[in-house]
Amino acid sequence: MARAFASSSVSLSGTGMPPAWAGKWFWVAVALLALAGALIDDSYARHILILCFLWAIVAASWDLVIGYAGIMNYGQLVFFAFGAYVSGFLAAKLGVTPLVAMAIAAAATGLIGLLVGLPCLRLRGEYVALFTFAVHLAMPPLIQQGRDLGLGGNTGLLGIPPVNLFGYVIGPLDKLGWFYLTLAVAAVSIYLIYFVLLRSRLGHAFVALRDSEGFARTLGVDDFKYKLLAFAISAVFAGLAGALYAHYTTVVTPKILGNEFFLMAMVMLAIGGMGRFPGVLIGAFLVIIGNELLRGFDTYRLIVLGAAVVVTVLLLPNGLVSLAERMGWGKRAGTQVGST
């Protein structure tokens, strides 16, 4: 059965599934970025790219659950924040080696993903969206409550040690080191999400449940199991990104659950196009770079971001990638536009 699913005779067009040939181009793009990191000798530009890589992981993990599994989870940043806090706490307060702390954080976030996913099994579309968003909004007060544990309340968790890669310490100022570390983690994570997980039986089950839940269940797809897996797996990657972020910035504050980050992540998905590789990755780069360019506008920046969500959803309901498809590019990637 599993082999039958994976065989090339199964048509993937219209599912938004990345085709096998895209994997090659993915690694070409990663190699070009790696080269660019060495050529660009500007720590600010490197910093922006590091943020792009970290957010690309978050966007991809979110895309997995919203775009491919079709679960309207609005709580993805909870996982990001949870990973950041767990790793930061373990490393800063308990003296755990950062790499180990990050691994524990990713695994623990996976469990939180299961926990958040559990009530969602009984809910439908909009209800899932609101429940998960409620979890998101309930997080900052809970973090405040954890001040006694050493979570730092509003000031945040300070003094998170830098990553120590088997004796080689990547300090916060070592932008090139961070550039390669985040690029490597992002490349592997994104490859795992789009080219290993989604192309496996798991991904087919996600897409089947998304496109026709009743029919998929009739075929024997265990919806509870796969929905929980979607939550857990996407949480692991978001938690990993959060942990990396914590060690990179050395500080975690409840601000990562604020308006700005949520909006940014949403624009990534809206602009890029959910469930359409490489839509959200392009979205992540555009948003992070665009956000930096808009810094001059200060307070208007967030208004622009909010408006960007509304306008792109109205004009391009399936994101930039759908524009490319409409113009005839990437026909092989799936031509079904505008009919789900």
Partner 1 sequence: MHQLIEVTFGGITQGAVYCVIAVGLSLVYGTARVLNFAHGSLYTTGGYLCWLLTAGYFGLPLWAGILVLIPILFLIGVAIERVIVRPLRAGPNWKTTIMMATLGLAFLLDNLFQTLFGAVPLMIPPFSGGTVEILGTTIATYRVWMLAIAVGIVVGLEVFLSATLFGQAVRAVAQDMQGATQVGIDVNRIFAFTFGLSVILTGLAGVLLAPIYLVSPLGGWAPFLKAFVIVVFGGLGSTRGAMIAAFILALIEAFVVFYLGPSWTLPVWLLTLLVVLMIRPMGLLGKWEA
Interface residue list for partner 1 (CB under 8 A): 66, 72, 74, 119, 122-123, 125-127, 129-131, 133-135, 137-138, 141-142, 144-145, 259, 262-263, 266, 269-270, 274, 299-300, 302-303, 305-310, 313-314, 317-318, 338-340
Report helix, strand or coil for 130: helix
Paired with 236 in beta bridges are none
Kindly state the smallest distance separating residue 76's Cβ from partner 1, in Å: 13
Residue 75 structure tokens? 């709580």
DSSP H helical segments within the chain, as ranges? 2-6, 20-39, 43-63, 76-93, 98-120, 125-145, 175-191, 201-211, 213-218, 223-249, 259-272, 279-293, 300-315, 319-326
Q: Which is nearer to partner 1, 273 or 278 (CB)?
A: 273
- CA diameter of the chain: 58
Helix axes 279-293, 259-272, angle to 10 degrees: 130
**Which is closer to partner 1, CB of 84 or CB of 305?**
305
State which residue, 35 or 307, has the beta carbon closest to partner 1.
307
Nearer to partner 1, 14 or 172 (CB): 14
Least distance in angstroms from the C-beta of 267 to partner 1: 8
> Nearest distance from residue 132's CB to partner 1, in Å?
11
The secondary structure of 226-286 as a DSSP string is: HHHHHHHHHHHHHHHHHHHHHHHHS-B-GGGGSHHHHHHHHHHHHHH-TTSTTHHHHHHHH
Give the nearest distance from C-beta 2 to partner 1 in angstroms.
29
Please state the closest distance from residue 41 (CB atom) to partner 1, in A. Answer: 36
Closer of 47 and 301 to partner 1 (Cβ): 301
Which CB sits closer to partner 1, 177 or 272?
272
Q: How far is the CB of 262 from partner 1 (least distance, A)?
A: 8
Could you give the CA distance from residue 309 to residue 315 in angstroms, rounded to a whole number?
10
